[in-house]
Amino acid sequence: MAKCMCCGKGVTFGNNVSHSNRKTSRTWKANIRKVSAVVDGTHKTVTVCSRCLRSGKIERA
C-alpha cells in the first residue's frame, strides 16, 4: 500500500473538472519512496514520502 510510514500520507481522491464543468473522478498519489532507514537501531526498508525525507524525519541507513 502506498502510504508514508512517518506521516501517513497516501492517495487522495477528487474530481477532474473540464471546461464544460463535467466532473470525473481522479486520484492524486503521494511521492512515496522505498528507503533503507534506521528504525529502532536496525536497518529496515520503509516507504516514506519525499517531504519526510527532505525534512529529516527519517535517518537513512
Are the CB atoms for 49 and 32 separated by under 8 Å? yes
Residue 27 lies in a domain: yes
CA distances to 15, 20, 37, 47, 52 from 9, in Å:
19, 32, 18, 11, 10
Question: Range of 42's domain?
Answer: 12-55
Number of domains in the chain: 1
pLDDT tens digit string along 7-20? 999 999 999 999 99
pLDDT at 1 over 90: no
Q: pLDDT of 27-48, one tens digit each?
A: 999 999 999 999 999 999 999 9
Q: Is residue 25 part of a domain?
A: yes
Residue 7 contacts residue 51 (beta carbons within 8 Å): yes
- Looking at the domain assignment, is residue 50 inside a domain? yes
pTM over 0.85: no
Contacts with 46 (C-beta within 8 Å, 6 or more apart), sequence order: 5, 34, 35, 36, 37, 39, 58
Q: Kindly state whether residue 45 falls inside one of the protein's structural domains.
A: yes
Whether 30 is covered by a domain: the verdict is yes
